[in-house]
Structure 1
Amino acid sequence: MSDDKRAEKGADPAADAPARPSRALVTARVRDNIARVVWILCMAFALILAVAAFTYALEANPDNGLVKLARDLADVFDLGFFDLDNPVKAFEGKNAVVKTALFNYGLASVVYLVVGRVLERIIRP
């Protein structure tokens, strides 16, 4: 259809151009993606801490590479506050190391999940 015929019918030539998303829509998408990344990272950190706690509970071989990796990563992500060398709560007696790891790493996992969810809700539009 020619431009003259469109003008006669009242059609707008700009209507055929592809629509560009508004600035608010782009900002909302970026914030949504950032919120997802924050939530996924917090879930991953919580999972690492939970796996490390289970390596103690299951009395996994500490010389195994995967067990070492899980425990080393947990030492990094325990926020220094839930560290097994200076724990929030230290148990004594039978299975003290297992109880201490489950309590402290479990508590750190919950903190990551709560903080991650709160941050996600704040960031998401």
Structure 2
Amino acid sequence: MSSSDDKFTAADDAAVDRGRTTPGASRSLTAARVRDNIARVVWVVCMALALVLAVAAFTYALEANQDNGLVKLVRDLADTFDLSVFDLDNPVKAFTGKNAVVKTALFNYGLASVVYLVIGRVLERIIRP
């Protein structure tokens, strides 16, 4: 950006503050608001997916009733959104021995949750003006 671009932006901002908008300022403010809203939606979706995976991992840790409809729903959603990399049938890290299923679920779904949070934050920063 050149210094003339900075002056133009400052002048547009001053005009908006006084209630007078120029066409360029109005369009750039609208675009900024749209990008801000899209960034928020992307972040919320990634947080929701990370939360589903974390709750699914806790259903294994707490040995929740597998016949419960809510437990089935959460585990099915986690199986759908595990990026096919952190799948419990073919995990990144498979544990053996005592509580192997719990450890595998906590590790893989926990890692998938962190990946969703990182991806969400990076995308939010890229999209936000």
TM-score, structure 2 as length reference: 0.81
1:13-38 CA-partner distances (Å, limit 9, x unpaired): xxxxx856610000000000000000
The share of aligned pairs that are identical, in percent, is: 83
- Of residues 91, 99, 103, the one that matches 2:103 is 99
Hey, what does 1:66 align to over in structure 2? 70
Alignment of 1:1-125 (within 5 A): 22-125=26-129
Counterpart CA distance in 1 for 2:120 and 2:84 is: 18
Hey, what does 2:7 align to over in structure 1? none
Larger radius of gyration: 1
Match of 2:97, SS state, is coil
Q: Which runs of 5+ in 2 are unaligned?
A: 1-18
Give, in angstroms, the shift of residue 53 of structure 1. Answer: 0.1
Hey, what does 2:8 align to over in structure 1? none
1:46-79 CA-partner distances (Å, limit 9, x unpaired): 0000000000000000000000000000001000
**Alignment-mate amino acid for residue 44 of structure 1:** A
RMSD: 1.1
Number of residue equivalences: 108
Counterpart CA distance in 2 for 1:48 and 1:116 is: 15
Counterpart CA distance in 1 for 2:64 and 2:128 is: 40
